[in-house]
Amino acid sequence: MTARSLRIALTVLTVAGLGIAGYLTYVHYAEVQPVCTAGDSCIKVQSSVYSELAGVPVALIGLLGYVSILGLLLARESENTRFAMMALTLVGFAFSGYLTYRELCSIHAICEWCATSAAILTVMAPLSVWRYLRDAPTLPTPGASHSLERPPAGRSRLYST
């Protein structure tokens, strides 16, 4: 998978997650019933004490997370953006894992929107870790002793993996 196709895949996943988190945030503030094929499971999850963290709706936290990730994907790619992206997706993955545990073991109801978002982050987390680790760093050049940027296109690579 090329760096470009990986970035596109991550962007598509992020946009999907953004849509879900945006919808759940709307549902929370508009106090409307979420579309749910599994009866009132989504309402139970949305109404549970676990739907907020320190008074902030977890849907809003997710929305902000996805917006940040999308911003990083659309920004000029660098070592820092790849690192931040990896860190954010790992945080998102762990948090959605915690929420899924609460759904299964505390609320006894699964919100399909939340489950889909968790699945998206489960795919994104390893992809962003792989993206961060796999890209070859730029070799040190005079005047830029710790540059980790990718080599310019066309530059020969002296090593392979």
Partner 1 sequence: MSRVKVQLEPENLTRKQRRDHARARRKALEEAEAAATVRQARLRLLGIVVAVVVVGIVVVFLAAGGGAKHGIPASKAEQSSVVHEVSDLVGGIPQRANVLGVPTAPVTLQYFGDLECPVCRAFTLSALPSIIGRWVRGGELKIEYRSLETATREPEVFKAQQLAALAAGRQDRMWNFIETFYHEQGEEDSGYATESYIQGIASQVPGLDLMRWTSDRGDATLSNQLVSDGQAASAANLNGTPAFLIGRSGGTTSKLEPSSFTEPGSFNEAIAKLAKS
Can you give the binding site for partner 1, defined by CB under 8 A? 31-33, 39-41, 43-44, 46-50, 52-54, 83, 86-87, 90-91, 94-95, 97-98, 105-109, 129, 132-133, 136-137, 139-140, 148, 158-161
Closest residue by Cα to residue 111 from 63, 45, 53: 45
Shortest reach from residue 12's CB to partner 1, in Å: 24
The SS3 call for residue 53 is strand
In angstroms, give the least distance from the CB of 23 to partner 1.
14
Encoding tokens for residue 4?
């470009």
Residue placing its CB nearer to partner 1 in the complex, 1 or 33: 33
Q: Shortest Cβ distance from residue 1 to partner 1 (Å)?
A: 19
Instruction: Please calculate the CA angle 24-25-31 and round it to the nearest 5 degrees.
Output: 85
What are phi and psi for residue 141, nearest 5 degrees?
-125, 155
Nearer to partner 1, 12 or 156 (CB): 156
Decide: 50 and 107 in contact? Cβ < 8 Å: yes
